[in-house]
Structure 1
């Protein structure tokens, strides 16, 4: 990891240690919120520190009563220019909270509005450890080690050096099956996604940012545990589902949903997290690395749909083209 990134992480950790942090807020929009939600998942699973996720605008309008001087607010925007998130940073600082911005642009409005910065490299040839997931994971697991000290969190940070190799090997493994998916589903107008646990956030990102935003395919991210409480009524032989079969405590929820969906739909695609390549990762750390790797795999599915539909992922109708 680059020295500047190590120093940024160290500054945040020291700032957290110097204050009596009583709760943590993860604030962002869209795909950035989905990525931060993983931090909330691990915090609620591993610590007794109250943790919350808000889309930026609601964070401001709801004005949580527990937000104050003993709060840690972690915000993310890829470009650092998302207006709602920039305002959320200023709002949190006005409340006296400790604010940390995660972005690829250190001179962005978000970073200028926050006390501390976690910068990540993007498409500059850097290793994954200095990229989006590597920097976010480094931050989260170092924070976990502050609030609930455990030697395994230090091992996660150490193993992040494997990310680049793991990404490459899993891309190679899933390239063909993803391409087949794209070919089979190139004329589908709607594709539902299902997941649970840590993976529901990846399903949300895949649904909202890749299928709906980039490919203009109707979709909905369905929590496997909620599938039987309404959504399963749309299941039919010609209705496509992409289901992330997770690894961890909520896998039984996914297995139950999968069993039902396969009975009535002929278009169920399964991405089984247990089949990912975890080479070099300790057995007890797989649950932390799975969500990072699955994001790379799901991107292959989106790329394949783009290739076979002839719809580039860069095309937008409204985003960045008008005021909204």
Structure 2
């Protein structure tokens, strides 16, 4: 990892170490919120300090009563210009919280408002360890190790060096199926997505940012555990589902949902995270690396749909084109 990133992450972690942490808030919008939510899942699995994910505008308007000194607020915006997230950083810092901004643009308004900045490379062809996943995982597991030292977290940090190789190998592993999926589902105007645990956030990101925002395909992200509490009534032979079969504690929830969906729908696509390549990753760490690998694979599924629908992922109707 580049020295600048190491130093930025170390400064943020040291600030957390110096704080008697009473709570952690993850604050962002859209895909950035979904990526931060993975960290929230890890914290909830590993330590007793309460944490919560907020969409940025709600965070400011709700004004959580626990927010203040002893709070750690982690914010993210890819461009660093999302107005709601910039406002949330300013709001949290004024409340006395430790604020950590994650962005591609180090000189962005978000990074100017936050006390600490963690920058990731995006445009210069840097490998994954200096990209958004490597930098964010380094921050989250560094914080975990600072708050509750564990050799497991140190192993995660060491094995992050395998990310670039794993991203590439899993793209190759799933390329044919992802583009075949694009061919098979190119005429579908609605595709439901499903997942659980950390993978629910991947389903949400795929739904909101890739299917709805970028491809204009109607969708809804369904938690596998909630499927049987209403949504399964929409299941029929021609209703498409993309279901993430996760690696970790909630996998049985996904298996139950898959078994039911496949009985009544002829259009169920399963992305089994356990079948991905984990070379260089310890068995007990797969649950942590799985969401990152799933994100790369799902992006390829979106590329397959874009290719076969003739709808580029860069096309927008409203976003960045008008006031809203």
Per the normalisation by structure 1, the TM-score is: 0.99
Superposed CA offset, 1:17-73 (max 9, x none): 112111100000000000000111000100001101000000000000000011000
Whether the aligned pair in 1 keeps the contact of 2:17 and 2:147 (CA below 8 Å) is no
Superposed CA offset, 1:264-286 (max 9, x none): 00000000011000001111111
Equivalent in the alignment of 2:207: 207
Equivalent in the alignment of 2:81: 81
Partner of 2:188, secondary structure, is coil
Equivalent in the alignment of 2:108: 108
Unaligned regions of 5+ residues in structure 1, if any? none
User: After the TM superposition, which residues 54-93 of structure 1 pair with which residues of structure 2 at under 5 Å, given as runs?
Assistant: 54-93=54-93
Partners of 2:148 and 2:181 lie apart in 1 by 42
Equivalent in the alignment of 2:161: 161
Q: Which runs of 4+ in 1 moved over 2 A?
A: none
Whether the aligned pair in 1 keeps the contact of 2:247 and 2:274 (CA below 8 Å) is yes
Q: What is the CA-CA distance between 1:89 and the residue it aligns to?
A: 0.3
Partners of 1:6 and 1:148 lie apart in 2 by 20
Bigger shift: 216-225 or 10-19?
10-19
Q: What is the CA-CA distance between 1:147 and the residue it aligns to?
A: 1.6
Equivalent in the alignment of 1:5: 5
User: After the TM superposition, which residues 181-200 of structure 1 pair with which residues of structure 2 at under 5 Å, given as runs?
Assistant: 181-200=181-200
Unaligned regions of 5+ residues in structure 2, if any? none
Q: What is the CA-CA distance between 1:81 and the residue it aligns to?
A: 0.1
Per the normalisation by structure 2, the TM-score is: 0.99
Whether the aligned pair in 2 keeps the contact of 1:47 and 1:148 (CA below 8 Å) is yes
Partners of 1:144 and 1:276 lie apart in 2 by 26
Q: What is the CA-CA distance between 1:16 and the residue it aligns to?
A: 1.1
Superposed CA offset, 1:71-129 (max 9, x none): 00000000000000000000001111010000000110000000000000003111100
Q: What is the CA-CA distance between 1:263 and the residue it aligns to?
A: 0.4
User: After the TM superposition, which residues 251-270 of structure 1 pair with which residues of structure 2 at under 5 Å, given as runs?
Assistant: 251-270=251-270
Partner of 1:315, secondary structure, is coil
Equivalent in the alignment of 1:22: 22
- Number of residues of Structure 1 aligned to a counterpart in Structure 2: 324
